[in-house]
Chain A
Amino acid sequence: MYDTVAEPVNAAPFGDAEQGRLVRLSTARPGEAGVIVDVRAESHPADHGVDIAELQRRLLEFGFVEGARLEVLHEGAIRRDPIAVRLDDMRVALRRRDAEDVWVLLDKPRA
């Protein structure tokens, strides 16, 4: 349903091994954790039932804001969708297709 993810243009400052990977939340797997660094309004404007700015506002309202801690807890059985995440101190479920514009800087893998 959702596209595979291209690296963002500004990935370089975060993308190196020193700081862990920068990923779209839509591609994250259970066990991966990090900090939200960007919530955008740019993906697939025609494909959503609401316009993309509205999707961004809803994500923000649910607490998907820059600086929030996030950990992917579970994923569904079919196509690994939807996902359940711990977002600061609450748990939220969302579909991967709606999570594309949430960029997460993953924690450095422990050595």
Chain B
Amino acid sequence: MSEAVLRPARIALVGNPNTGKTALFNALTGSRQKVANYAGVTVERKEGFVTTAHGRSLSILDLPGTYSLRARSPDEAVTRDAVLGKLAGETPPDVVVAVADATNLRLVLRLILELKAVGRPMVLALNMYDIAQRQGLRIDLDGLRRELGCPIVTTVATRKRGIDDLVAQAEALIEEGAVAHANVWREPDAAEIRAAHREAQRILKTYVRPPEHPDTLTGKIDAVLLHPVAGLAILLGILFLMFQAVFAWAAPLMDGIDAGFAWLGAAIGQTLPEGLLRSFIADGLIAGVGSVIVFLPQILILFLFIILLEDFGYMARAAFLMDRIMGGAGLHGRAFIPLLSSFACAIPGIMAARVIDQKRDRMTTILVAPLMTCSARIPVYTLIIGAFIPNRTVGPGLNLQGLVMFGLYAAGIASALLVSFVIRRVFWRGAVEPFLMELPTYKVPSAENVARNLLLRAQIFLSRAGRIILPLMIVVWFLSTFPAPPAGATAPAIDYSIAGMLGHAIQPLFAPIGFNWQMVVALIPGFAAREVAVAALGTVYAVGDAEANVGALGARLAQHWSLATGLSFLAWYVFAPQCVATLGVVKRETNSWGWMGVMFAYMLTLAYLASFVVYHAAVALGGG
């Protein structure tokens, strides 16, 4: 038995961004994939497996898209190092599959010339071949095969066409024992890049006949979507639709989940005898799991929008439209994508900041990403708004509660822009990075790819919830249950617990911003994850209650808090670094405790100042 049979041969997918590389990866591996991180860096490592017609198992690695092996971002560095076999903890690929958009070969040809210099056995996959054919683009496949000296496969990843052929060609290279040539690649200088372009141009001219019916649709769509006025209006409309969807569409699902967990808690409450175990299961465990899962609909809807817009090709347009607005604040147009993702959760947003080439732009984006209103704040906002803001119509289609919610989002965005402006002045002294970005051809997103991506995001959220939020809920339950109140106690049980003591101890620090000790107790677990604060408030105000639904909690809060306190709490949540997971990701992404400390300190300061101002303004206006 040869070694190749014993361990799965390794295949790496390399290509420009927007070539359908990930769709090809999905078509190859289906559900047999796993996502992790590369050792030492936070670049997402996507590996999958495919079994060939001869029963051989192949490992497929989906490398980040790049225009050149001359890496300019951490993602691109991973691609370069993986191809060169220099990546720590990774064996070099046995076969490189160069993935090309068949309708846009110029830049990928230059990349292929670089890959040839690296010398690994290679297969070229001409993806989106159906579109090329529809456009009447003719490619002399035999000529190109001879010219490049590697097998060529035409594929349509979204329809799973050419996949078996691609696997067979890669396997053939492995079987015939194709070995790597000596690597002669080195970073090209300007003259060499020019020469490579000329070579790519010559190859293109010789083997590719331009399309008879070139794509005109993208140009027509762009005429509207990139229009200086109409384009911005449409972008705002899309953002508004996203918010509406997150609230309106998710509501029935959330109510259903809420009701389900309430029923489960009550059912178990009836079967178990009164006591600690029942309290733990009903109030700690089931309420904790429920408070996590109830936000899944909102997260899925938001990511559905983000993934659809990305796959359609709109994200780059949004970056174009936003660049000058963001640029004025010292942000890169590309920061728009990570910041938009941060509306769902700052963690994927901060990780998505990897698409920004330059360290400074990336740092700024990471530092302000948590100011964007993440979905974990939504439950807190919903609870407080529901309790303190009247549900009243203030104009055609305008609801006061919705307006306040919009204001909170706007406050987050405005402060993110302001902070990044200050960061650029203070840390970077005004230097601005170049901004170069391909505007990909518009494409209809593939339902299967969207579904697969969405599932991945849901898994990541739930595993985060499971690993961080649930244990914390149990800690909160423990802190607020022990020690038990003395016999004949009159105050609520939690007053005698560890949480109560902690809350009372540090409450004086929060008195100037109008927080009572119950709120301070809720903030303690709320530092682990923002949404935990809702469940914690529920625990603090209603320990022992079988039901802990949001409406009842809201009514309770309205009894116990003044309007000024409620508004102060909202202001706190716009800014406070109430998320250990975010801080952890920042530490990993920046590889520095210092940056994490800067973020924590500035957000805490802003939160305290904002709450202070809001509380005292509200008291002065009679809301005390």
Q: Which of A4-12, A19-27, A42-50 contacts B (4 or more CB under 8 A)?
A: A42-50
Q: Mark B214-246, 1 if CB is under 8 A from A, else 0.
A: 100011001100111101100000000000000
> How far, in Å, is B494 (CB) from chain A's closest CB?
53
Q: Which size bracket describes the interface of B in this complex? A: 35 or more
Q: How distant is A46 from chain B, measured CB to nearest CB, in Å? A: 8
B437 touches A92 (CB 8 A): yes
Q: Which residues of B contact A78 (CB under 8 A)?
A: 324-325, 328
Q: Is the CB of B324 within 8 A of A57?
A: no
Please tell me if B327 contacts chain A, counting CB pairs below 8 Å: yes
B194, A95: Cβ atoms under 8 Å?
no
Are A89's CB and B432's CB within 8 A?
A: no
Given known pairs A60-B197, A73-B222, the reply for A94 and B435 (CB within 8 Å) is yes
Chain B residues positioned under 8 Å from A49 (CB to CB): 358, 360-361, 428, 431-434
The A/B interface has a contact count, at CB < 8 Å, of 132
Q: For residue A63, which residues in chain B have a CB less than 8 angstroms away from its CB? A: 106-107, 197
Give the CA-CA distance A67 to B316 in the complex, in Å. 26
In the complex, the chain A residue whose C-beta lies closest to that of B72 is A58
A58 x B228 contact (CB < 8 A): no
Other-chain contact of A62, B107, B219, B222, B324 (Cβ < 8 Å)? B107
Point out the residues of chain B lying under 8 angstroms from A55, CB to CB.
434
CA distance A23 to B316 in the complex (A): 27
Asked if A58 and B222 make an inter-chain contact with CB atoms under 8 angstroms apart, the answer reads: no
Are B222's CB and A84's CB within 8 A? yes
Given contacts A47-B431, A48-B431, A92-B437, contact A57 B193 (CB under 8 A): yes
Bound state CA distance, A66 and B428, in angstroms? 33
B68 at the interface (CB under 8 A from A): yes
In Å, the complex CA distance between A88 and B211 comes to 13
Which chain B residue shows the least CB distance to A64?
B436
Contact partner, A50, options B201, B323, B434, Cβ 8 Å: B434
| Beta-carbon contacts under 8 Å, A40-87 to B | 41, 47-50, 53, 55-63, 65-67, 73-79, 81-82, 84
Tell me the bound Cα distance from A61 to B434 in angstroms.
13
**Would you call A65 and B194 a contact (CB within 8 A)?**
yes
Asked if B226 and A74 make an inter-chain contact with CB atoms under 8 angstroms apart, the answer reads yes
A76 touches B321 (CB 8 A): yes
Given the complex, which residues of B lie within 8 Å of A79, measured CB to CB?
Answer: 324
- Tell me how far the C-beta of B447 lies from the nearest C-beta in chain A, rounded to whole angstroms: 26
**Contact of B107 with A76 in the complex, beta carbons under 8 Å:** no
Structural contact, A94 and B436, CB atoms closer than 8 A:
yes
Q: Could you tell me the distance in whole angstroms from the C-beta of B315 to the nearest C-beta in chain A? A: 12
Chain A residues contacting B439 (CB-CB under 8 Å) are 84, 91-93
Kindly list 9 other residue pairs between chains A and B, CB separation below 8 angstroms, not including A67-B201, A90-B107, A91-B439.
A48-B433, A49-B433, A55-B434, A63-B197, A66-B194, A78-B324, A78-B328, A91-B440, A93-B316
Q: List 21 A-B contacts (CB under 8 A).
A: A53-B190, A57-B70, A58-B72, A58-B434, A59-B436, A60-B197, A61-B70, A62-B67, A63-B197, A66-B194, A74-B227, A74-B228, A76-B321, A76-B324, A81-B324, A82-B320, A82-B323, A82-B333, A89-B214, A91-B222, A94-B435
Q: Which residues of A contact B (CB under 8 A)?
A: 41, 47-50, 53, 55-63, 65-67, 73-79, 81-82, 84, 88-95, 97-98
